Amino acid sequence: MSEIHSHTLFERLSAALPGAELLAGEPLAAHTSFRIGGPAEVLACPRSEGELIALLAACRAEGILPRILGGGTNILAPDDGLPGVVISTRGLDTLARTGENEITAGAGVSLARLASFAQRAGLTGLEFAHGIPGTVGGGLYMNAGAYGGELVQTAVSARFLRPEGELLSFDGPAMELRYRHSVFMSLEGVIVSGTFRLTPGDPEAIQARMRELMEKRKASQPLDLPSAGSTFKRPVGGYAAALIQEAGLKGFRVGDAAVSEKHSGFVVNLGRATCADVLALIAQVQERVKADSGIELEPEVRIWTSNRE
């Protein structure tokens, strides 16, 4: 047996990365807002850019292309888990004011923390992001938005690390931010940080706006149940939630996965939902909505499979 295969992947990475935070067989359900997902062969949690670079080099030596996990708020992970390496970016949590009206945040900074930091600095433009359950990296990856706001309105640049260790900078239009899309979706690598340009504002007025939007969110969304937020993208000429409700699917369930009674655009975990339950529910909702309206719904949630389809 060759030396590279004489130990487990976890053991080999532990030897190559002394001091790194590595977890073997870590349940992905503990790291996703759906609370669904089997064990990752190795979950790696770099705490700095240097650790991330070393980790990517070790993965490259193993012939592994790792998956990237931010807040896990838009991920459906498979029940049987994932081989290889999953990298959590939550440790990339630096946050600083880097210009008079600019803030730079690490990929692992939550959007709520970023918005609160901007509010305390008297900078407006990120109020909409305060209630979005995700991180800066995930937010830039999908151009997160809510209540008429999107990160494209304030994001001016992002730093991106390629698997081979090349650090790239994407400025403005190069990020290709549009509705639930960015250039990063077509690239292999990791968003390291993002910089946001904001506008001076009154901290009290900013805080009041954040409170107002949070109350709207609490009143209209099933925040008391595990979910991955909006399950489907907004189709042209309509809204997914309205189409699902019109098809008579509010409350429809497969196993413990259900269309939320509170907001039809959300699929929720009633307690013991599996990835298989959610996938079956999504497929049936798509089929019923297509038959009822002729519109084909496209999932917004990112569906992970063990073979990286």
CATH (domain of 10):
3.30.43.10
Residue 72 in domain:
yes
Domain match, 51 and 99 both? no
Domain final position from 210, 233, 262: 210
- Shared domain check, 157 and 195: yes
Please tell me which residue in 102, 176, 246, 300 is annotated as part of the active site: 300
- Per the annotation, the verdict on 300 as an active-site residue is yes
pLDDT at 238 exceeding the cut of 90? no
**Catalytic one among 180, 227, 260, 264?**
180
How far apart (Å, rounded) are the C-alpha atoms in residues 4 and 63?
Answer: 11
Q: What is the pLDDT of residues 31-86, one digit of tens each?
A: 999 999 999 999 999 999 999 999 999 999 999 999 999 999 999 999 999 999 99
In the chain, what percentage of residues exceed pLDDT 90? 94
- Final residue belonging to a domain, choices 188, 210, 232: 210
- Indicate whether 308 belongs to any domain: no
* pLDDT at residue number 100: 93
pLDDT-derived band at 215 (thresholds 50, 70, 90) equals: very high
If we measure between CA atoms, which residue out of 196, 194, 198 comes closest to residue 122? 198
Specify the CATH number for the domain of residue 276. Answer: 3.90.78.10
Q: How confident is the model at residue 308 (pLDDT cuts 50, 70, 90)?
A: low
Q: Are residues 160 and 121 in the same domain?
A: yes
Please tell me whether residues 29 and 76 are part of one structural domain.
Answer: yes
State the amino acid at position 78 in one-letter form: P
- Calculate the average pLDDT of the chain: 94
> What is the domain count for the chain?
3
Given pLDDT bands bounded at 50, 70 and 90, which one contains residue 4?
A: very low
Catalytic site includes residue 220? no
Q: Do 272 and 234 share a domain, yes or no?
A: yes
Q: Angle at CA 45, nearest 5°, toward 92 and 52?
A: 60
pTM for this structure? 0.92
Sign of the dihedral defined by the CA atoms of residues 224, 277, 186, 60, in that order: positive
Task: Say which residues have a Cβ less than 8 Å from residue 187's Cβ, sequence separation at least 6.
Answer: 160, 162
The whole domain housing 182 covers 95-210
In this structure, are 8 and 68 located in the same domain?
yes
pLDDT of residue 236: 86
What confidence tens digit (pLDDT) does each residue in 241-271 have? 999 999 999 999 999 999 999 999 999 999 9
